[in-house]
Structure formats: C-alpha cells, structure tokens
Amino acid sequence: MTEVNARATVGQAAGRGQVVAWGFWDWGSSAFNAVILTFVFSVYLTKKVGENLPGWISPSAWLGLALALAGLVVAVTAPVAGQWFDAAAKRKRALAVLTVLCIASMTLMFFVHDNYHYLWLGLALLAFGSAFFELASVPYNAMLRQVSTPATVGRVSGFGWAMGYFGGIFLLLICYFGFISGEGDNRGLLGIPTDDGLNIRLVAIVAAVWFAAFALPVLFAVPELPRTDADPGAADADFFASYAILWRDLRELWRTDQRTLGFLVASAVFRDGLAGVFTFGAVLAVRVYDIADADVLLFGIAANVVAALGAIVASRFDDRSGPKRVIVVSLVAMVICGVILLFVSGPLMFWIFGLLLTIFVGPAQSAARSFLARLAPPGREGQLFGLYTTTGRAVSFLAPAFFALFVVVFDSDRAGIVGIILVLAVGLVALLPIPSPEPTEVVGTPAAGPEDRLS
C-alpha cells in the first residue's frame, strides 16, 4: 500500500457536512453514556434485577467490579489499539466495528429480565458495552484531526461535545416521558407495562436504535485514513510487539516534546475532577442542599444544557487564544464556585452556583481534546488518544477517593466538595507549567482554505 506524508491527513475531511456527520456520532453515542450507563439501565440492574440476589455482595458492588474489569481491559489495550488503527489505515473501520459491538450489547439488554438470575447477563453486557464504547472513542477522537483544520479544531471539538450533551438530554426526555414517568403497572405516555421490567428493556432497544441511526453519517461522510509513514512497523506488529513500538514512540516523545506526556498526566487528573462534578452532583443536591428528588433530573438536564452552551462559546476562544487558556480559566472558575458552595445552603444557592460550576465543565473537556489533537504527531492521533484514555483510567479513583475521604474525616457530605476541588486544583497546578500549543500549530501543515473553515 502506498504511504502518504502524515501531515496530508490533517484537515483531510474538514467540510461542513463532514463535521456535522462526525458530531452526530457524539449525539448518538450519548444513548449509551446517559441512558444505559448512568441513569436508566444500570439503575434497573442494581435496584430491580438484583433486588433479591443471595449472598453478602450487593448488586451495586458487582456492578462496580464489572465496570472496573472493563476499565482495566480498556486501559491496557487502548494505546496499542489506537496505534494499530492509525498505522494499518483502519481508523474508520475500527470505529464501525466497535460501535456495532456496543450497539449489539445494548440490544441484547432486552433479554435481561427482572430476576436476579439475569443479573450476570446484564453485568456482562454492561461491561462489554462499556469497553467497546470507550475503545470506539479512541478512533472517533482521533478523527478530530481529519475533520478540522488547525484554525478550527477548537470549534469542531466544542461542537462534538455539545452534540453529545444535547443528544443525551433529548433521548433521556424521550425515554422518561415515553416509557418511565408515572405510577402503577403501566408507565409513560405509551403506557408500557412494567411487568418483568418490560418498559426498561424497551428503553435499551430505543437507545440502541438511536445510537445506530446517528452513528451512520460519519461512516459514510468521512473517508478512511490513508496509510501514512508516521509510525514505522506498527501496522505489521503482533500484539506484544505493539507494546515495544509504543515504548519506542513514548521515548521519542520524551526526547522531542515532553509537554505531550506532561499534558496526558495533568489532563488525566483534572478530567477525573470534571467527572466527579457530575458523579456526585446529584448526591450533594439531595443530601446537602435539599433539592427535591423529583427536581434532580431537572437540574441534571439544566447542567447538561449549560455545559453544552459553555463548550460552544468557549470553543471560539480555544481557536483564537489556544486551549490552555480555556482550560485554566475553566478550572479556576470551577474551584471558585466549589469554594462558594462550601458556605452556602438551600436549593436556590445550589441552582445558581451549581449551574455556574457546570457551565465550565464542557469548555474544559472540549479544550482538553483539542489540546491533545494539536500536540499529536500527524498520523499517530489514535495512539495518543489511546494513551489519553489509559491515563484517564489510571487516575479515575482520585475524585471518588478524595470525596469519600473528606466525607468520612469530617462526617459531612458537604465536606466531599473539598475533595473534588482538590482534584481540580491539582490538575490545574500540573497543567500550568506545560507550554500551550499555538492556536494553529501543526508544523508543516498547509493552511486551510476558506471552504474548509467553520464560520
């Protein structure tokens, strides 16, 4: 196969239609993240399916173990998988296969009946789906370099994050009002029976169809990555040899651009803090600020909306001033809002400062992705985004551990906020000495034409 110079792949598919098609994958994939993993199926699995599970280990503990094992598999395989996707010129094919496997796992969740004997099937499907979903995000994030130019990478990344937030909200509302809301034996506007968990099992089917429908555009609109000269030997290496090539490439990065490795570490820390904001937000809302149980979903929707809008607005500054400024401003603002939340009480204060805090989550997430996209050597984006996933997994215990530590030490749920603030602050301090890439930095890359830019 003829190899091309890796820099030729930057902005290879940066037309407006291709950007929108790429963003639709984020819109569709929110079906797994929001509906299956966070709000609906996992709750059904632990509260209904596993309700009468014999033994001293709770269904929630089994869920945590299943997801931890899936995370371990992802952490070990993501870098070499992304490395091979790039080197073998099979980035889009990998995205297609992993997406199909994730959707298949979601579809099979329909057969998880409301009986503890089906808990193991549900846990296995959730673990497999989680692993496939995270691995699919590696080639997807790597495509950011293809569908953006150096001048638009921030806006394209922000657009993708916003699509994910809005897609999740929209589907959650459809599932809630169509299949879950109300009381009695029939739920939702469609009057679906709750017997044997049918309404939730149908939600899994709806989520799978949603993901499938919106994942298709990127597979048709964005061309396959051409084979490049960026990573010699990686395409033909076996599984174990791939780790030797990965180590070789990391040593090369250490010699030539230590900021990439530094950013991977710093971003892993602050990204875990960002995840902690949403993970523990609902708990704090109810237990500390007296938000009614029925209003938690409304706050969650509002938080996702403002995070999406924040990502869109901040993406303009990302392209003009560079992603580091966006991340630093976002983290500083979140630390300030967190400190204020330590001293205020009541639902109104939580709505005000909780939403002010979450408005900066989207910009920080989006700018972190564009930061790495600018730093990644052309043709090796998959490898770097694989490491991005791995480092994130490696420190994913930080926010939960510090949250729990401060709650226990001070015997107060409110004190858990300090743990999240601390993780965000450590990530910020680790980021500060790392030089920022220039807004249009990709050395040797031709400038984008007017038709390739987002207006």
Tens-place pLDDT, residues 236-273: 787 788 889 888 888 888 888 888 999 999 999 999 99
Place of tokens 């939960």: 400
95 close to 219: Cβ distance less than 8 angstroms:
yes
Please give the structure tokens belonging to residue 251.
């040593």
Q: Is 451 exposed, middle or buried (0-12, 13-18, 19+ CB in 10 A)?
A: exposed
Q: Which whole-number Å values give the CA distances from 127 to 63, 65, 67, 244, 443, in the listed order?
A: 9, 9, 5, 28, 40
Give the mean model confidence (pLDDT) for residues 402-422.
90
Q: Is it the case that residue 32 has pLDDT exceeding 90?
A: yes
Comparing C-alpha atoms, which of 350, 328, 322 is closest to residue 270? 328
**Calpha distance 70→450 (Å, rounded):** 43
Residue 4, strand partner residues: 228
**Calpha distance 209→28 (Å, rounded):** 9
Q: Is it the case that residue 358 has pLDDT exceeding 60?
A: yes
* Band (290; pLDDT cuts 50, 70, 90): confident
Query: H-helix or E-strand containing 186?
Result: strand 186-187
By percentage, how much of the chain surpasses pLDDT 90?
58
What residues contact 61, with CB distance under 8 A and at least 6 apart? none
DSSP designation for 238: -
Comparing 96-110, 283-297, 316-330, which segment has the lowest mean pLDDT? Answer: 283-297
Per-residue pLDDT at 3:
59
Q: Which residue has the higher pLDDT, 377 or 295?
A: 377
Q: What is the number of other CB atoms lying within 10 angstroms of the CB of residue 115?
A: 14
What residues contact 265, with CB distance under 8 A and at least 6 apart? 391, 430
**Calpha distance 439→323 (Å, rounded):** 7
282 close to 411: Cβ distance less than 8 angstroms:
no
* Residue positions counted in the chain: 455
DSSP designation for 224: P
Per-residue pLDDT at 61:
85
Residue type (1 letter), 94: A
Q: Is it the case that residue 198 has pLDDT exceeding 90?
A: yes
**Calpha distance 328→241 (Å, rounded):** 38
Comparing C-alpha atoms, which of 27, 196, 36 is closest to residue 109? 36
Per-residue pLDDT at 440:
58
Helix 119-142 × helix 59-87 angle, to 10°: 30
Q: Which residue has the higher pLDDT, 439 or 205?
A: 205
Q: Is it the case that residue 436 has pLDDT exceeding 90?
A: no
* Band (29; pLDDT cuts 50, 70, 90): very high
DSSP designation for 193: E
416 close to 284: Cβ distance less than 8 angstroms:
yes
374-400: buried (b, 16+ CB within 10 Å) or exposed (e) per residue? bbbbbbbbbbbbbbbbbbbbebbebbb
Q: Which residue has the higher pLDDT, 213 or 443?
A: 213
Q: Is it the case that residue 442 has pLDDT exceeding 70?
A: no
Please give the structure tokens belonging to residue 96.
């297609």
What residues contact 429, with CB distance under 8 A and at least 6 apart? none
Question: Phi/psi at 186 (nearest 5 deg)?
Answer: -125, 135
Q: What angle do CA 227, 229, 233 make, to 5 degrees?
A: 90
Residue type (1 letter), 50: G
* Band (449; pLDDT cuts 50, 70, 90): very low
26 close to 167: Cβ distance less than 8 angstroms:
yes
Per-residue pLDDT at 294:
59
Q: Is the dihedral of CA 382, 388, 394, 399 positive or negative?
A: negative
* Band (235; pLDDT cuts 50, 70, 90): confident
Mean per-residue pLDDT over the chain, rounded: 88
**Calpha distance 71→97 (Å, rounded):** 19
At 192 the three-state DSSP class reads strand
